[in-house]
Homo-oligomer: A and B are copies of this chain.
Amino acid sequence: MDNPLVSIVMGSSSDWSIMQQAARILKDFDIPHEALIVSAHRTPDRMFEFAATAIERGIRCIIAGAGGAAHLPGMIAAKTTLPVLGVPVTSKYLQGVDSLLSIVQMPKGVPVATFAIGEAGAANAGLFAVALLAMGDSTLAKRLESFRAAQADSVAAMTLPES
């Protein structure tokens, strides 16, 4: 694959069942991307190095998924000015409420764009990354328009069983 433009990171391979939704969207739009395991708590130096070098590696935006006391998106955002998209991964007992609050409630000065808990959020982070890249790429912008139109059509084609 070409040099990745989007980097998808998560703290553990167990997050992949959620985060692959982001990867699928990027693949569908032919966006070069990478998916890496980077843990804020267990590999803090690796995380800092990842974040600090992302711009020079040509990364344009970062999608970070984490659960529980979910510090990965915010800490990456602390170390780079690239747009960081945070995905609250479902937690075992609190359904991702802890993940959501840990990601979205960032203090003034260091933003993390946050999406829904779980699969929907991961997919939407992928779509949002597409929208960011489409800001400077009219072909991609058109593909995004087409995606939306197709999506509308698929809803229109849904039928309900007889009640």
A: residues with CB less than 8 A from B are 11-13, 16, 20-21, 23-24, 27, 35-37, 39-44, 46, 48, 60-61, 67-71, 74-75, 77-79, 81-83, 85, 90-98, 100-121, 123-125, 127-128, 131-132, 134-136, 141, 144-145, 148, 151-152, 154-156, 158-161, 163
Contacts and interface: CB of A to CB of B under 8 A. Distances in A.
Nearest to A60: B135
A161 B35 CA distance: 10
A136 to B, nearest CB: 5
> What 3 pairs across the A-B complex have the smallest Cβ distances?
A113-B113, A111-B124, A23-B163
Nearest to A128: B111
A103 B24 CA distance: 24
A68 B23 contact: no
8 contacts: A13-B158, A16-B160, A35-B160, A42-B109, A43-B156, A60-B135, A105-B116, A108-B123
